[in-house]
Amino acid sequence: LSPGLPDLTAFPRAAWLRAERAVLAGLPAPDLGYGDPRGAPALRRAVVRWLARNRGISAAPDEVVVVTGTAQALVLLGRALREHGHGGLAVEDPGSLGVRQHLRHTGLATPPVPVDDEGVRVDALRALGARGVLLTPAHQFPMGVVLSGERRRALLEWATAPGTDRLLAEDDYDAEHRYDRPPAPALHPLLPDRVCYMGSVSKLLAPALRVGWILAPAPYRETLVAAKRYADLGGPALPQLVLARLLDSGELERQLRQLRRRHRHRRDAMVAALRARLPGAVVHGAAAGLHLTVTFERGFADTELAARALERGVKTHPLSWHRQQSDGRPGLVLGYAARTPTEIADAVTELAKAHVQS
């Protein structure tokens, strides 16, 4: 039940093969050489159209830098921020341990900003004195809350305060995967000159493709492109061209509709199993995404519960892994998208047995 994976059995193999054959059949020989470090022009154009259709984002292809997933986007962003004099980037708390690790690898500090039921607390962000903050506003990881309208307004006021050059880094995590609520709008259209937007197809197709994108405000763009060039001269062109064809064909919209049906069914199976076998657990963030989080009454360490569950063959994330400040209930982050309903029910049964031992 480790979070972060879609249903990999749903990968559209036939559609990918058709698109790959079509790309190779018409690919000019010069396109097999070294390309633009920003990524294949065809993919950058397709990403712009995809974001306009699905996230209301208006951008030009020249603003897009194709990356090998959000992980590389974070590293490139960290390097660009360091070059522009940033010493840190505030992050949500609780918030992704992996995000913090990637940012710290670039030398940035990651001061925590608490999250509540409306998203990141802007009052705490103000008190922190940060120059930038990284957010998952559409489906906060790991708690699954949506940044409220009031918080969005406060955040935009903070970002545009006179005499500042503050930056909002938007990780559009799980934005496409929603079941019981309307789509949460992206921040980027509200303030494109202050928002650095990141996305990928890891949760829509497969992490193995290693394709994502980053849209940065103009002052950071050249630095990002240079960081990408020095990192790898640009990502593999063929997967980018195949993905561009799928994006423009409407295949990814069809894929997303299929995934929503499958993932909703698996989400329902997990919620039902938790209610039956762990009735004392409080479920958070089940309306969207590929995971949910459960919290428990205090009195035990969630790392101990996760270790006991792992002994029973069930891998989870202790919620405390994703906290910088120790205060808070014990909990677990549980992924459901990559498992069948039967596997989910069996795993929750073992998890309940591990909970009894904690």
Rounded average pLDDT per 10-residue block, the chain, 358 residues: 95 98 96 95 98 96 97 98 97 98 98 97 96 97 97 98 96 90 93 97 96 97 97 95 96 94 97 97 96 94 97 98 91 98 98 92
Interval 202-257: pLDDT, tens: 999 999 999 999 999 999 999 999 999 999 999 999 999 999 999 999 999 999 99
- Residue 201: CB atoms within 10 Å: 24
On whether the CB atoms of residues 38 and 233 are closer than 8 A, the answer is no
> What is the value of pTM for the model shown?
0.95
**Residues in CB range of 15: below 8 A, 6 or more apart:** 246, 249, 251, 255
Dist. CA 99–CA 70, nearest whole Å: 9
Dist. CA 125–CA 91, nearest whole Å: 9
Dist. CA 118–CA 100, nearest whole Å: 22
Chain mean position to CA 350 = 28
Dist. CA 271–CA 281, nearest whole Å: 10
On whether the CB atoms of residues 333 and 291 are closer than 8 A, the answer is yes
Q: Please tell me what DSSP assigns to residue 288.
A: B
Domains of the chain are: 14-251 (3.40.640.10), 253-357 (3.90.1150.10)
List residues bridging with 335 in a β-sheet: 291
Q: Determine the pLDDT at residue 181.
A: 86
